[in-house]
Structure 1
């Protein structure tokens, strides 16, 4: 059974507008059993009574890292430790402005763009809606953390799943913030940004078309979202949530990249990097494991000396489309049956298209 086109007709209400959601003794919604499509908004979050803002804590940590780099530098006598600290701080400091800007734009789009915009902007034919939705990622910034809820919201509003999935893959990879970050991270390789844009868009469109042709409605669960509170509240909540998660993964990715450059023997890296297909697979798998935000992954890739531009391109294309946090989000939002089919499809397409695009342009 193939995907259906856009359906803008009325949908039956699942709950009464005045009906309050059940709560447990802890004050959190306990309606997940009745609305099993997605976890409630409060699931996995701290109670609202706690005033401490975690994103500010992340910014404080980054500031301490920068200050500590200069304060502790005279005491870091081991060359390897000095190299590790320099690489780690450089990655975090370079990527932080793009990360904050991208998360801000993503939260603004999720909170302020009206639902009717999507049904008016996309063609009614699913085959044509897929590339249009993919290209929309070039003008509508969004990180990986935001792409899954946005895509599920599109499906809930009647957009064909294949088009929503194309947007899910393209938006974190080809949006303006990511493209500018890639140009800054690779100042001597201007074609890297071009290759990343082309390869990511091709993968998104191919994945959407393949799902349109072979996907079945029983494989994907379309959530029904409830939006509560004002738009400003939704914006601040989305920004706080995305910045916290993306910032944490940036720190982990920076530490891993710095460790890779210092701890792993250069001979081993040279042996892996010297085999083209092995280098591509190695960095593609590393992108899945590191789960770095797309606004920051270019700086991590640029720090991986010894690997070919094509292998780095595979890291940049695979990361925003397939990583551990995305797999978890997709399972929780669209179901395990969807993730078991869509994740291997996306990874395979990303590796093959990256290798081909790298051979042609880099």
Structure 2
């Protein structure tokens, strides 16, 4: 398929694997930020192509995975209300709350609907004026513009039966939290290309300078990822720490100013709790005061709902890159896609899901080529 096959070319991937082997002289640990990158690494066995000196740690780059468990419980509580329609992307339905997930709430009679855009939820609100409609707004910077536009239109078109349950997280503060943590071993980052397509690269320059780590904005195909690893290792070997853009075909330096404008109009930066990690200052988006009427958390007085994660789930260690999914004692045993303990096992971008699908019974081996 044009513009995909080119980035899965086995010979080109081999060349980058050989190039990395030629320049590496000591151990380095890199972290890919996005769960989509994690799935590509595991699916194609890209880590098995790398020399032993290069370790890839999987980061917290899955918005579904980092959504705190109490927000799942809040969404379930909304779904159980009469005359309320809860709209969500499909990947949230299997994420476990304290005792249920949204799919179970739907099976018990809740009006839970899968949509492909928050504007679909806004349309449902228009078509059902006698029902309240809540959109479960989960995501990083990538999905924030569409969610902001839905709230903006709801206010300006006076669609008063629409609101959003917000769980927006921002990537750069999480990177700083990981780098500041005791025992941090991450020495370079592969930044998420789709986040940077919205926000650009400006926010990453202070991080690279402060923590002396290279940051390479990277795409999601095998060739993208290995080129990103090569650029990152090259910087480390040369003692440099700057922001580079491997994903230039999709990421302009300034990002998308129009998307940024609508996000600034509707949202403000707030402290956000990350599942398995805890509260991170200035790492989330909340509705501004003039849009508070569309905040489902306040409209339905959900602030008192609290929850604790399963003590058997080590998703926090996995999301911080401290361990790999198969190193969790529950992996593939008490935690499976049919009976998950945590979000990374059922999210389409979750590291545990990737390992369960592609490595449950086998060691990592390259699937597209041999070095």
Q: What TM-score results when the alignment is normalised by the length of structure 2?
A: 0.22
Structure with higher helix content: 1
Q: What TM-score results when the alignment is normalised by the length of structure 1?
A: 0.23
